[in-house]
Amino acid sequence: QVQVVESGGESVQAGGSLRLSCAVSGLTRGDYAMGWFRQAPGTEREGVSCITRTGAVIGYADSVKDRFTISRDSDQNTLTLFLQMNSLKPEDTAMYYCAATRSTYCVLQTEFYDYWGQGTQVTVSS
């Protein structure tokens, strides 16, 4: 059974930093591209960043480029995904979700992802 668990969301002041983590277990190790998404109240879920199986290809939404950094790690049983978020703005406030896709491509569209976590809340105050 695949499990996706996010952590690290907090309330911070604008200009601050946070590091989100995501632990994925139950997948065949190394076969999946992964991504971070976010959803603010009343809006659709949007892609924030993605990374391929090897980490060779990385993508970012324009709104977070140069502020957020995605990375991944893996051991024998668990894939771990990170999102370092710097220079946070109030408009970054949202529930952040981690997801994994069987596709080998780095994509920011939600429909390509097969496994999702429950999300972790990030709140940025001005």
Does the structure show a pLDDT above 90 at 93?
yes
Note whether 35 and 48 are within 8 A (CB). Answer: yes
- pLDDT, tens digit, for every residue of 40-82? 999 999 999 999 988 889 999 999 999 999 999 877 677 899 9
pLDDT at residue 30 above 70?
no
pLDDT band at 88 (very low <50, low <70, confident <90, very high): very high
Evaluate if residue 23 carries a pLDDT over 80. Answer: yes
Neighbouring CB atoms inside 10 A of 118's CB total 10
